[in-house]
Structure 1
Amino acid sequence: MAKIIQRFGADHFDYIVVDEFHHASARTYQQLLSHFTPRYLLGLTATPDRTDQSDILSLCDDNLVYRSDLFEGITQGILAPFHYYGIGDTTVNYQEISWRNNKFDEKELVNQLATQARAKHALKHWQEHKQTRTLAFCISKKHADFMAEYFVKHGIKAVSVHSESAIRRNDALSQLEAGTLGVVFSVDLFNEGVDLPSIDTVLMLRPTESKIIFMQQLGRGLRRCEGKDKLIIVDFIGNHHSFFNKPEALFKIGPTNANKKDFINDANDVSLVLPEGCFINYDPVAIDFMQQLTATRIDSQVELYESLKASFGYKPSMGAFYHAGGSIDTIRREYGQWWEFVAKQEDLSDSELACLTSHKAFLREVEVTKLDKSFKLILLESLLENDGFKAPANTLAIAQNSFGIFKRRQRLVVDLPEKYQALAALDTKQLKTWHTYWLNNPVNAWTGGSKAQGGKKAADKAYFKIEEEKLTYLTAIAAEELDAFNVMVQELVNYRFLQYEQRLTNKVIEGDSSPVNVLPDAANSIPYFSDLKIACGHFRTSSHETEEIEQIALPEKYGTLDPAKHFIARAMGNSMNGGKHPIHDGDYLLLEHITSNNAGSISNQIVAIERQDTSGDDQYLLRSVNKLSQGQYELVAQNSDYEPMMATEDMATFARLRDVIDPMDLYLHQSFMRADIPGLFGLEFNKGAWEAGHVCPKGQDDQFLLVTLNKQGKNADHQYHDYFKDGNTFHWQSQNSTSSTSGKGQRLINHKVNGSKLHLFVRKNKLEAKKGAPFYYCGAVNYESHEGEKPMSVVAGLDSELSESLKLEFVG
């Protein structure tokens, strides 16, 4: 698949349709979706109630064309309303039952469920709420037989139905329909495919690890039938986190502890939003169980992982997990290494599992290897870029490529010896010296040549060897596993880069308090002469010095700009403040330098005129030029209060006006400290207001999102899922208290309708040089869609694409 995909460019197809889209998290689908960037992606699925529906939706930029769920079916009268009773399962301690691979040990579970005390508890609550025809779901044949026998002993007409039962499924259903049976106890035969609309009571006697199975079982009783006005559901809630699968499926609550707590509060307050005719009640014991479960741990690492998977629509990478505040150390203590943890979540393909088995030691070494500098990672990155795990790689070529990686990853240049830091490229002599240096450092380390103190060989295992000036990985990689191996190593390397760069970010260079986290200048940067004033009145003297020049990057909407020709200056005065396109005092002007030799036609254009005064100082004036007869030119102001003037020989064309710049475009992709952001918009900084992530200043229409991508060190309740989907799209998650109907939610959703701009400021890390890090202004963004409530997961489109340096910084 990968080889076929690579034949096409990322933008080769304008329109891609993917059938069976519920498989979108599969490796082959992910390869396709991550490679192509069509203008329109359409996903089709016939299973809209899958537990990963939110995953599927996020892959389509949260653009849902059509969906009809259970609540909608009830509202439309297609399905019967339900009354749900959640009963505390007081006779079973689920915490004592072994939990492996996301399911209970069946033998232990049956021994706890098939007891007199449990059956008595179930019978009591069933008798309180039942109607006439009951379908009951059990965990095993033994459990079903036990429950049927217990009910029969207490005068209830009941049978158990499974593959070995004396009565066949259809016969049992017929007797249930006729009223000669009151209860049918089943294992899995009735999960789907049963057409018995007269079932009016469902008895849930088993936990379920699958939200899909729960909804299928529930659906057995939702068919409408004459004389049936509702379905009764009697469900048992135990003291184990898996029981949250049921409300998550039925009420689509989010996967985080905060979501669960909000649901419990709503259930306790009887304020859940339900279709007309529906009712839900959890008894105090069930509520207490759920409150204990959410209080035992605020977002475990597994919960965070699953939450990210639900948000992204695919397995979160190690870097994404780290950025979201996940504790890699906790994962490692429990599972040994990252890929073992992912394997336990059943998120590895067969080829990845094979790689983990064959290369476990090396994968862990990449994850934990000590990094005094970034050299080991750079070497691995170079090997990955040059197919160095497929075939032995020439050490000179790898060294040269490694130097190029340093030039791309500018913040890592500080690791290099000083003589290499300023070099853009290596000449032949420098390359030879660099090659030797590279062999003596990371190559030496990965080949087991590092020495510990005292001159003794380090105990570290060698993972590579050098033969005939080629670096060779020591363990054979099966051809069918090579792609998976490269992906797994790349993911670890990406994480270690993030981790290492975080360390650099907080580092203060000796004798210098400035941060090392400096991004390279953006493309499309041109000079801004802050002290050059172009008069919009009468000729005005203005001198400028080269040290006053700033480099400002403008968005692509201003076209391709050449720093040798184009520059920015300020207007001064009001002579051009008139007409359809007035130029105001203080406006930023985009100008193109011209001379009398290359100006071309300037008639009916606005140009900057230059002349020298009697003292020899330069003077500048902005005017529209009209050509008169006999080669004469008239300089016309747009403001009628200013008289036209004739051009004279001491005047020369200096620059042509290209555009008047929106002041906010000057700030685009520039960095600002939090306290300086309000001033850009004429606002005052108030620490209480501007410390928030979503700022809505009083008396101000505009809104501001201030986002830190790396959530390391954040409380679990503040580990929001904020990330760039690409250079044009941002995913932002609100506070846990924000819903689409709340004031802030409505203001955000309707910002365009209300004439409000939504400004995005982003930083990668909270700190730089042990101080608060600045935010980069990413421009105005526009709400596109959202998913979920408390928190809302919002997708917004950027007005201006991220610069290449910010893409590398924020998107990767």
Structure 2
Amino acid sequence: MKVEKRLIVNSDKGNLLQELIDSMNECRRFYFSVAFINFSGLQLLLDPLREAGKKGVTGKIITSTYLNFTDAKALEKINEFENVDLKVFVTDKEIGFHTKAYIFEYMDSYKVIIGSSNITQSALKSNVEWNVEVISKSDASFIKEVLKEYDALWERSQVADEKLIAEYEEFLKTLKGNQASQQLIFEKPEYITPNRMQRRAIDNLARLREFGEKKALVIAATGTGKTYMSAFDVKSFRPKKLLFVVHREEILRKAKETFEKLLPNERITFGLLTGNYKQKNADYIFTTNMTISNCYHEFKKDEFDYIIIDEAHHATSSTYQAVLDYFEPKFTLGMTATPERSDGNNVFDLFDNNVALEVRLHEALDDELVIPFHYFGITDIEGIDLSDVSIDDIAEVTKRLKVNERVDFIIEKMEFYGYDGEKRKCLGFCASIEHAQYMAAEFNRRGYKSTCLHGGDSSSTREEAINRLENEHDELEFIFTVDIFNEGVDIPSVNSVLMLRPTNSPIIFIQQLGRGLRKHAGKSFLTVLDFIGNHNKTFLIALALNGSRYYDKESLKVAVATGFANIPGCTHIQMDKISQERILTQIDQENFNSMKYLKEEYFEFKKLNQGRIPYFLLDYLKYDGAPDPVKFIDKEKTYLQFIAKVEKTERLKALLSDDSFEKAMKELSSKLPLKRVYELVVIKYLLDHDHITLTTAKNEILKWVKFVDNDSVLHAFQTLNQDFYDNGELSRNLRLFDLQDGILTKTPVFESILAAEEYRKYIEDIVMYGIFRYEKEFKNEYYGVPHFKLYEQYKMADAALLSNFRKSHSSFRGSGLLTNGNDYFLYIDLHKDADVEERLAYKDEIKSTREFQWQTPHTTAQHTNTGQNIIYNKARGINLHLFIRKYKVIDGKNEPFIYIGKGNTTSFEGNKPITVQMELENELPYNLYIEFTKKV
């Protein structure tokens, strides 16, 4: 037998955790020897260990007390598995223990993995680790040597019985008093640097100010460091006087301490302005909105150079408005985790629609701004049948969930998976108040200290319960609730979440998940147990976990089938086979482009909007997990047309009866989602000005991007002038702009539309939504000409606009190969239509993450100029841009292409068509490679 060797690293191509799981599923016996075992890593292996036991697979595990890093809780948990023998190598000052070896025994061979990884979540999933896998016959000398060494270590180690674990646990507790000295770090203000999120925000704020903007909003999840970010920006801005306004007094002192830490020795005085403190003469004043609203007239209008509004979603209230209207600072910064407001007012407008940064859940995980979560999707017990009931029928859902056997089942799973930390601090999200009260009562009856909180409870009752949950010495472990903890309530030490209700909204799912993701010294991960029933909207869980507002059926199926491999960092998502198959079946059966589905999505979103009609596209940017409103536009040409159809409102029908307004809405809506921002930035300026020059336009565009070339600005003007429309497009679309002598103006008909306030606000909404969404997806980067971002979605016709094509843009459709000068655009369907004749079926294939095979159109011969340009592209300076999609049509709708960058021909054969082998200039990300090549 040939000895096989392989290097295993944690990357987008896989990780050690998956390798261990796969190996445990296939082996007869296993033997681990690792220096450290944390519960964070062990929890990820609990199901594989249990499944191994069911199949009669036995194992031995050796770990150690080296550096006191192994968790006593992890040792206790391993001992629960009857199929696993556990020993501990007890170290002393002379002898350390640092092995990391995983051995798997098969019928006539062994797999040995030796390297750097212990059993911790980081080592198994995200750390930079090197592990070498060797597979060899049982009688190989290497295998014999490894097993001999393992046996010797096994003999030297102690059986991990209750006595040893108890003594070790007691010893760890004695170290706790000394932890502070061990954890002290060399921290001086000059060495504290911004994280990635903070740096992006600071750079964007500086750019906005450079172009004269005086207000901006930063949207980032709780616990991501917004206060530090604001302090860094203040340090850069250097205002003489600062006003920091918060909604709640309890966070005021922390904000002041943060600023004092980052701005020492600056000859700045810091003061509090509250009911008890009146330090009004300080340079930097920290106050509550209630306090400042009662005394703002005591200050000059221009007293403060810089004002910061924390929890800015409250700033639309009258209390804040009076203060903000009075002061005239050089700059105002708003910060919020939740830009949505229940009173219907728009926090974006308050900050001049300048969003300096938006960080949602997946980005926060990627930047390690929040802790990772371990999600376990568990099939609910058989007795719970929700297949024939509407999720909105809360009374019936509650009735069916109130089952004693289900409570026992939840407790069984909860005890099996455990939690991180000394004390369990758990939020259980229920279907109704009655359900929450039932769960609390049943848990208390079984000896688990619990309480129920809901919207009817007073703030003091809520505060008392939260304080009890956070208190390490209080017996309260569970708070069962309905929706009051979805957002806005911060309980940093929560280490467990129970999803006990059917998921009917990705938004609510993400909000509830987010309650436990705040960083806290007492936890390194959040345990999430989701009890998945058989209701017909189970697949919404997949939408929430996938982390993308823009999805198709195929990408969603691949994400589910691969355990959401694209999730960043140490976060782990695991569904049992029944739940996974149930969700995959539902995704297959659902038509995501049908009017039925789109209406359900819309009305669910409307419900979260406090039942108010979401008239504006911007409403959808306020919630993480919101549906993509461009799908509604695709269905009915404009968003208002879609609302008018589903809501059947006479007001909207009357509004859309104005032919000019309707055509203007269609013309602007057709540009969404933006693939370059230039045109809409120009339109934004013209909403408030009579004309715009090329120079002014460039300056306006530079507020949103780092650089723009002059020709692209001119091309944007010509595009708005409809220079590249064909006759059909000119007859269908309303002309909104005129271009003469390099100056762009509004047409009289567009002027008249904007003069009507009711019309103008909907025009503004399209413009601002387009710009905000562009900024979120493309950031402020300059992508050159052609203006393509790697792995972004594009339609065939987009290439004309983005390559500054000067002929009719409508010519860019309907062919697999289009050209503009030295730029060749290749559009490729990986899976051909079943009815395409065999002789016309192109053999296009992704060979690897760096190799691609493409067949030219059947008319292309080698001797032609086009053929020569393709097969000798690099020598001839020809750029071959590759756009690929898995399927042409899904759910009756043409799919967009994914831009995978440029390819260079390495070899070729045949004629009419030419089969070309290419090397990709950018290696295809592994998750995208899997999405394109995996069949589900």
Larger radius of gyration: 1
> What TM-score, normalized to structure 1?
0.38
Comparing both chains, which one has the higher relative contact order based on Cα–Cα distances under 8 Å and sequence gaps of 6 or more?
A: 1
